[in-house]
Amino acid sequence: MKGGKRLPKGVNLIDIQNTHPYIRVRDLNNVLFASLTPDYAYVDEETQKSISRYIVSTGDVLISIVGTIGLTAIVDSTLDKANLTENCVKVTNLKHITPEYLLLYLRSQLGREAITKGTVGAVQQKLPIKNIQAIPIPLLSEKDKNTLLCTLDSIFAEISINVIQSAKLSSLRDTLLPRLMSGELDVSDIDL
pLDDT of residue 79: 95
Q: Where are the alpha helices (DSSP H) in 3-44?
A: none
Instruction: Compute the average pLDDT of residues 109-129.
Output: 93
Per-residue pLDDT for 178 more than 80?
Answer: yes
- Residues 15 and 41: beta-carbon distance below 8 Å: yes
Instruction: Give the confidence band of 63 by pLDDT, cuts at 50, 70, 90.
Output: very high
The answer to whether residue 50 sits within a structural domain is yes
pLDDT score for 150: 84
Q: Report residue 129's pLDDT band, with 50, 70 and 90 as the boundaries.
A: very high
Query: Domain range spanning residue 82?
Result: 2-137
Both ends of the chain: CA-CA distance in Å? 54
pLDDT tens digits, residue range 33-45?
999 988 899 999 9
Q: Is residue 109 part of a domain?
A: yes
Q: Domain for residue 46, yes or no?
A: yes
112 part of a folded domain: yes
Q: Look at the chain and report how many structural domains it folds into.
A: 1
CATH number where 81 lies: 3.90.220.20
In a domain, 29, yes or no: yes
Is 117 within a domain?
yes
Residues 6 or more apart whose Cβ sits within 8 Å of residue 169: none
Concatenated DSSP letters of 59-121:
TPEEEE-BSSTT-EEEE-GGGTT-EE-TTEEEE-S-SSS-HHHHHHHHHSHHHHHHHHHH-B-
Q: What is the residue type of 141?
A: S
Q: How confident is the model at residue 85 (pLDDT cuts 50, 70, 90)?
A: very high
Q: How many CB atoms lie within 10 A of CB 140?
A: 14
